[in-house]
Amino acid sequence: MEKILVIGHGGREMALVKAFLRSLSVSGVICARGSDGIAELCPCFDIAEDDFTALIELTRHEQISLVVVGPEQPLAAGISDAFAKAGIDIFAPTQAAARIESSKAYAKKLMQRVGVPSAACQIFQDKASALSYVEQAAYPLVLKEDGLRGGKGVRICFSVHEALAHLEDLRVDKDNWLVAEQFLEGFEFSLIVLADGTRTLTLPLAQDHKAIGDGNKGPNTGGMGAVSPVPRVSEELQRLCLQKIIEPVLKGLVEEGHPFRGFLYAGLMMTAEGPEVIEFNARLGDPEAEVILPRLRGDLAQAIRHLINGASPEPLPVCKESCLGVVLAAPGYPEKLTGSPLLPPVLMEEVRKSDDLDFIHMGSEKISEKQWQAAGGRVCLVSASAPDIPSCRERLYGLLDRALPPDGGFTFRRDIGNYAEKN
């Protein structure tokens, strides 16, 4: 039996804890640092996600057999290397392999080397060159700050004025690279695999909704909702993405001496020329995890164990139902938060009573036995499972309309799931 430590404290980690609690091969789950929401499910230990010494000590003390990491920051800081050195099984990429997410410039160079389609780009290490480039570039132009930016380091500029104004606020130097990328048109989806070297297990497809507003308008956020599956993406297209994108990149990482172990996330854009990579992440997506993991019918812990022990992975059974999640964000998000509303008890109560609904805490705190309050930008995700996406939408938005007060205090999108079907 496995005893699992999940590292992280957000919605993705709460979804991981739930998935492991459903896994028959798991005898126990703990989380560090966890959250008030996760603490309703399993013991949480208040240890910072970058305090590797304390986390290793916790792992030994609690006789943990497998560590699974949620967020990107500890990966970029080398958590996998530290645990491997201590002889503990961890399902997470090394610091070198995690550069596929922590450095967009590194990911671009790797993709170019192995021939994976992605937008044409220029990389700048000084502001003067960036400024003279944007003066003569074609628009729209996508400007991406290198390094981890919580999903908010990307700006799509529609004019040279906008690009110059954006650059005014940015540092571009040897430690702060800037990637300027061709704008791609199409529809986006997320393909995530569990990987160890070149062996993989594919998770069901999902679609995130990154902009704050309906119709994908407004600034980017950490993700305002997600849906799985994505019926617009045929099985054939998914196979093509695995062959032309995931496989060559994993092989390329092996060739560079940095085999990838963990969740590999490809953010893809289906363009008129075929699928192209928007970004790689070295982890599960958030909020994608919250709608993908509930659809798995197999034992996630056992699948990871087989993968890291070198056994041929069996595909994970997936339920046919769709799952759709809407994020409730605090007012003012993603700019300056202007309030910390209470979570409506009616909403939480209705979810608790219904098998087809789920409630995931993202950034909330428990202030009394029955009261929860926003404690961050993205506060929680409410999801519905139903035979198809329109039924999920009907169920979920019906619930939100009933259970949120009219001036509810929360910001949320009304169009989650509108782009996943064929049109």
Residue bearing tokens 């003279």: 132
C-beta neighbour count of 197 within 10 angstroms: 15
* Cβ distance to ligand GLY smaller for residue 26 or 326: 326
- Name the binder of 119 from ligand AMP, ligand GLY, none, CB < 5-8 A by kind: ligand AMP
- Tell me which residues touch ligand AMP (CB under 6 A): 119, 142, 144, 151, 154, 156, 181, 183-184, 188, 210, 220, 267, 278-279
Is 197 a binding residue for ligand GLY by CB under 6 A? The answer is: no
CB contact at 8 A, 341 and 331: yes
Collapsed DSSP state (helix, strand, coil) of residue 95: coil
Q: Which does 188 bind (CB under 5 to 8 A by kind): ligand AMP, ligand GLY, none?
A: ligand AMP
Alpha-carbon separation of residue 20 from 26, 61, 291, 296, 318 (angstroms):
7, 20, 15, 11, 15
285 binds ligand GLY (CB under 6 A): yes
Sign for the CA dihedral angle at 157, 163, 167, 173 comes to positive
Could you tell me the smallest distance in angstroms from the CB atom of residue 413 to ligand AMP? 14
- The residues, any chain, with a CB within 8 Å of residue 247's CB and separated by 6 or more, are 198, 200
Residue 286: contacted member of ligand AMP, ligand GLY, none (CB under 5 to 8 Å, by partner type): ligand GLY
Q: Does 13 bind ligand GLY (CB under 6 A)?
A: no
CB 350 within 8 A of CB 403: yes
Cβ(193)–Cβ(93) below 8 Å:
no
DSSP assignment of 194-256: EEETTEEEEPPPBEE--EEEGGGEEEE-S-SEEEE--TTS-HHHHHHHIIIIIHHHHHHHHHT
Does residue 37 touch ligand GLY according to CB under 6 A?
no
408 binds ligand GLY (CB under 6 A): no
* Of residues 151 and 408, the one with the C-beta less far from ligand AMP: 151
* Smallest distance from ligand AMP to CB 188, Å: 6
Give the interface segment with ligand GLY, choosing from 19-27, 280-288, 377-385, 412-420 (CB under 6 A): 280-288
| Site map 135..164 versus ligand GLY, x via CB under 6 A | ----------------x-------------
Q: Give 169's DSSP letter.
A: T
| Interface with ligand GLY (CB under 6 A) | 151, 208, 223, 281, 285-286, 288
